[in-house]
Amino acid sequence: MVKMLIIEPVGGLCNRMYAIHSAANLARTFNCPLTLVWEESSELGARFDQLFKPSAAFLRTYEFCKNRDNLAQHLRHKIILSLFLTRLGPKFQPQQIKNMVEDGFDFESLPDLQQKISEITRTFSKTVGIHIRRSDHKLSRQFSPTHLLLDAMKEELQREPATNLFLSTDDTEEERLLIERFGERVRIYRKRSHARNELEAMQDAVIDLFCLAATERIIGSYESTFTDVASRLGRISLQLINKNSGNDA
């Protein structure tokens, strides 16, 4: 019998969101408590509770541990069973595993962040989200080149002239280029920082993510979890730009 599931997500913002989401679904399947161990790092310089509030679903599934120091005390009298999907895999049908990863993302941003998100998105009308991932993401730069993203945007505007664009990107040069090309049709959230080890940058990333999720659909970057999580948060369609296979719907 599973007594507890412990999840320590690593990596950037959306990689961690994916891990927590999947673990929460797994914990529900086993009807066991889920403990979250969250460490700040060079890839994410913020605590969980500086970005999100627990949703109703998470309140039933995890107890929040802020660091390793109090984790040992928290678990002193509990029986720990480490779980790995490779070991659990034979117990589930493929569709069950797929559902654990993909079904409903139930994250809510903190109220002060949500206020900024609402201020930006309240005027969205026929707004298509554009996510251009650059910086250290080699696959996105390689398979989602800027000229193909621009082509997809032009096609969108030709199909529906009233369309406007919300741009989310970690590259100020891409931001400048799109504003130059499309002018007032491009909406952006001016970020305070792009340094992922800083709290302001991570809170800005959450704002950008939820604004992207509030658009009608997304044109996004290859192999970017930010692109994918935004589409799942908003339950909206996603068009991935991939030079090798056309644009994946």
* pLDDT score for 53: 86
Do residue 90 and residue 206 come from a single domain? no
Do residue 202 and residue 165 come from a single domain? yes
Question: Looking at residues 112-133, what average pLDDT do you find?
Answer: 96
Q: Is the dihedral of CA 240, 192, 166, 22 positive or negative?
A: positive
Do residue 81 and residue 50 come from a single domain? yes
State the average pLDDT for the chain: 82
Whether the CB-CB separation of 133 and 221 falls below 8 Å is answered with: yes
Please give the DSSP secondary-structure letter assigned to residue 198: S
Q: What confidence category does residue 73 fall into, taking pLDDT thresholds of 50, 70 and 90?
A: low
Task: Please report how many Cα atoms fall inside a 13 Å half-sphere around the Cα of residue 5, on the Cβ side.
Answer: 26
Do residue 72 and residue 122 come from a single domain? no
Q: Which domain range does residue 92 map to?
A: 5-109
Do residue 160 and residue 232 come from a single domain? yes
**Domain finish residue from 109, 144, 165:** 109
Indicate whether 6 pLDDT > 60.
yes
* Structure tokens, 84: 């790995």
Question: Looking at residues 117-133, what average pLDDT do you find?
Answer: 96
Give me the DSSP letters along 155-182: HHHHH-TT-EEEEEES-HHHHHHHHHHH
Do residue 117 and residue 74 come from a single domain? no
Do residue 154 and residue 144 come from a single domain? yes
Q: What is the pLDDT of residues 167-217, one digit of tens each?
A: 999 999 999 999 999 999 999 999 998 899 999 999 999 999 999 999 999
Indicate whether 25 pLDDT > 60.
yes
The span from the first CA to the last CA of the chain, in angstroms, equals: 41
* pLDDT score for 2: 54
Q: From 95, 91, 168, select the one nearest 133 (Cα to Cα).
A: 168
Give, in order, the Cα–Cα distances in Å from 54 to each of 10, 64, 92, 105, 148: 19, 10, 27, 12, 38
* pLDDT score for 3: 65
Do residue 153 and residue 240 come from a single domain? yes
Q: What is the pLDDT of residues 85-106, one digit of tens each?
A: 434 444 444 454 445 555 567 7
Q: Domain count of the chain?
A: 2
* pLDDT score for 76: 44
Do residue 98 and residue 128 come from a single domain? no
In this structure, what CATH number is given to the domain that contains residue 202?
3.40.50.11350
**6-10, 117-121, 236-240 — which is least confidently predicted?**
6-10
Do residue 94 and residue 116 come from a single domain? no
Please give the DSSP secondary-structure letter assigned to residue 46: S
Gap between the Cα atoms of 216 and 203, Å rounded: 23
* pLDDT score for 24: 81
What's the predicted TM-score (pTM) here?
0.83
